[in-house]
């Protein structure tokens, strides 16, 4: 593994015990740099290798829809690990407490974790650092180019980030070594009773699970293969038409780390699809996605008004008192009770299926700005709804998608108009000129 993928969070005192990978964002066995790194260390030290996952029941407003998807994926993680001779343990409670306790009770020698730029995981890491005295590493297993290597600062836009990523891609976008059957066994005790766990889980059950997408790393790989074979070659043509199913639908898998974005990039590049489609797909998958991590990593207020660029805050402030033709509150928006049939349809699609079309997400968030009292309220409502209903919510892409739509992040100033000021506007008429709004609205109505 390229050593720049890992960084030391704590030097600690070396012990002889097992190496443990605390899995959080990258919930898969294959193509996982954090696990590959942990195994390399364990092999060198001739020690056992284990993976722990620490389950919290109040993660950023997630409901059974997201927990169900995640837990079904983790069942597979446990099975695949056991075939590789790697132990698995599921811990319950605050990771800042239960991970150090596990390390202590099992005399762990080295701790490895995966990387997330979000505040929650960073504060968990800090707590773990305070409570353990052993070498503790963080590995960026999520991005093709490790976030701290891609750029040393917050980037203005895709145009400033793209050349940096392109320069580094040949160094990082290489095939993965395969995980070996681990030669030093470790029995951590009980197997997880997944059915009981799911029954007992104290999470919001009012947002139900969905069945159009199968969770887990096996299903993720099959979805990738299907997309590459059947849709990638027309991605450039179809991806922005919500009445078609032209996107990959990989975002839930990528969010939970059930597939590696690097694996997706490697397979897309090997596909010999039409050049324009391949380039458009890699732009979203690598440049835009990793730009979101860059934003959240260098801007800890990523989900606040303060994170918007100066020009956008200034223009939104000037237009604060502009009259709003329509004003809706959270409940009216949540129940899709607006005057706009297209907006209502995308909101319903998200509530029912747990995934809104990418093109419509921009329209959806911009209309929330237009129909609420302030940009702060719009941002709060958009994040709340996104995180509550989307399978891929609670992700840097979500915070940045909302900040792009409402606060001009990574965008530029446009012609000034009411409410939006110089933030880019999107209209119903514009959508109508791009695709058949009628057939899209009808399709959503048929979902129930």
Pick the binder of ligand FAD from 5, 28, 164, 361 (CB under 6 A). 361
Q: Where would I find the H helices in 283-374?
A: 289-298, 310-318, 330-334, 341-353, 358-371
Residue 24 in the binding site for ligand FO1 (CB under 6 A): yes
Strand-pair partners of 50: 20, 87
| DSSP codes joined into one string, 192-257 | P-HHHHHHH--SB-SS---SSS--SHHHHHHHHHHHHHHTGGGHHHHTT-TTS--S---HHHHHTT
Identify the CA nearest to 232 among candidates 190, 284, 189, 300.
284
Residue 350 in the binding site for ligand FO1 (CB under 6 A): no
Residue 54 in the binding site for ligand FO1 (CB under 6 A): yes
Q: Are 394 and 403 in contact (CB under 8 A)?
A: no
Q: Are 166 and 282 in contact (CB under 8 A)?
A: no
Choose among ligand FAD, ligand FO1, none what residue 118 binds, the Cβ cut-off being 5 to 8 Å by kind: ligand FO1
Identify the CA nearest to 353 among candidates 317, 405, 389, 303.
389
Residue 293 in the binding site for ligand FAD (CB under 6 A): no
Residues 189-218 that bind ligand FO1 (CB under 6 A): none
Min separation Cβ 326 and ligand FAD, Å: 19
Residue 62 in the binding site for ligand FO1 (CB under 6 A): yes
Q: Which residue is nearest to ligand FAD (CB)?
A: 401
- Rounded to an integer, what distance in angstroms lies between the CA atom of residue 24 and that of residue 90? 11
- Minimum CB distance to ligand FO1 smaller for 67 or for 343: 67
Min separation Cβ 297 and ligand FO1, Å: 11
Pick the binder of ligand FO1 from 6, 35, 55, 147 (CB under 6 A). 55
Pick the binder of ligand FO1 from 32, 47, 66, 315 (CB under 6 A). 66
- Minimum CB distance to ligand FO1 smaller for 24 or for 32: 24
Pick the binder of ligand FAD from 26, 140, 392, 411 (CB under 6 A). 392
Pick the binder of ligand FO1 from 75, 120, 169, 374 (CB under 6 A). 120
Residues 362-421 that bind ligand FO1 (CB under 6 A): 394
- Minimum CB distance to ligand FAD smaller for 88 or for 256: 256
Q: Are 262 and 31 in contact (CB under 8 A)?
A: yes
Residues 229-258 that bind ligand FAD (CB under 6 A): 239, 247-251, 254-255
Residue 309 in the binding site for ligand FAD (CB under 6 A): no
Residue 338 in the binding site for ligand FO1 (CB under 6 A): no
- Rounded to an integer, what distance in angstroms lies between the CA atom of residue 204 and that of residue 196? 17
Edge-first strand listing for the sheet containing 6-10: 6-10, 136-139, 110-114, 19-23, 49-55, 87-92
Q: Are 397 and 287 in contact (CB under 8 A)?
A: no
- Rounded to an integer, what distance in angstroms lies between the CA atom of residue 426 and that of residue 440? 18
Q: Provide the token pair at 131.
A: 């409570």
Pick the binder of ligand FO1 from 41, 70, 112, 346 (CB under 6 A). 70
Q: How many Å is the Cα radius of gyration of the chain?
A: 22
Min separation Cβ 282 and ligand FAD, Å: 9
Pick the binder of ligand FAD from 203, 386, 411, 423 (CB under 6 A). 386
- Minimum CB distance to ligand FAD smaller for 139 or for 383: 383
Helices 261-270 & 275-282 angle (0-180, nearest 10)? 170
Helices 375-389 & 341-353 angle (0-180, nearest 10)? 40
Pick the binder of ligand FO1 from 5, 19, 21, 25 (CB under 6 A). 25
Residues that bind ligand FO1 (CB under 6 A): 24-25, 54-56, 59, 62, 66-67, 70, 116, 118, 120-121, 394
Residues that bind ligand FAD (CB under 6 A): 239, 247-251, 254-255, 284-285, 288-289, 292, 358, 361-362, 365, 386, 390, 392-393, 395, 397-398, 401-402, 404-405
């Amino acid at each position: 593994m390229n050593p720049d993928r890992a960084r030391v969070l704590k030097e600690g005192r070396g012990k002889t015990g097992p190496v443990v990978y605390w899995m959080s964002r990258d919930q898969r066995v294959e193509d996982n740099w954090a696990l590959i790194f942990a195994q390399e260390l364990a092999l060198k030290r001739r020690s056992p290798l284990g993976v722990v996952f620490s389950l919290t029941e109040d993660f950023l407003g997630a409901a059974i829809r997201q927990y169900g998807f995640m837990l079904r994926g983790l069942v597979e993680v446990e099975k695949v690990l056991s075939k590789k001779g790697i132990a698995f343990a599921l811990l319950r409670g605050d990771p800042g407490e239960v991970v150090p306790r596990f390390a202590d009770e099992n005399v762990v020698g080295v701790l490895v974790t995966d990387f997330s730029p979000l505040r929650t995981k960073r504060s968990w890491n800090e707590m773990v650092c305070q409570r353990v005295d052993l070498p503790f590493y963080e590995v960026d297993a999520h991005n093709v180019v490790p976030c701290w290597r891609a750029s040393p600062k917050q980037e203005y836009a895709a145009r400033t980030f793209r050349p940096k990523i392109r320069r580094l891609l040949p160094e990082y976008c290489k095939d993965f070594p395969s995980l070996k059957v681990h030669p030093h066994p470790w029995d951590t005790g009980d197997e997880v009773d997944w059915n009981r766990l799911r029954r007992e889980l104290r999470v919001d059950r009012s947002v139900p699970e969905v069945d159009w997408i199968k969770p887990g790393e096996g299903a993720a790989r099959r979805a990738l293969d299907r997309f590459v074979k059947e849709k990638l070659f027309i991605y450039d043509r179809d991806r922005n038409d919500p009445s078609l199913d032209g996107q990959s639908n990989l975002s839930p898998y990528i969010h939970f780390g059930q597939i590696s974005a690097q694996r997706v990039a490697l397979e897309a590049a090997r596909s010999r699809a039409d050049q324009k489609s391949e380039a458009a797909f890699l732009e979203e998958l690598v440049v835009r996605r990793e730009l979101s991590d860059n934003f959240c990593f260098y801007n800890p207020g990523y989900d606040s008004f303060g994170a918007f660029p100066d020009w956008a805050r200034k223009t939104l402030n000037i237009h604060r008192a502009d009259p709003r033709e329509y004003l809706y509150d959270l409940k009216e928006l949540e129940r899709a009770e607006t005057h706009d049939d297209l907006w209502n349809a995308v909101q319903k699609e998200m509530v029912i299926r747990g995934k809104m079309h990418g093109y419509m997400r921009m329209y959806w968030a911009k209309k929330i700005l237009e129909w609420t009292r302030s940009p702060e309220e719009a941002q709060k409502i958009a994040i709340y709804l996104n995180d509550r209903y989307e399978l891929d919510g609670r992700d840097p892409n979500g915070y940045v998608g909302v900040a792009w739509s409402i606060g001009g992040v990574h965008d530029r100033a446009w012609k000034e108009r009411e409410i939006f000021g110089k933030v880019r506007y999107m209209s119903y008429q514009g959508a109508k000129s791009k695709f058949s709004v009628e057939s899209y609205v009808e399709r959503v109505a048929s979902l129930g």
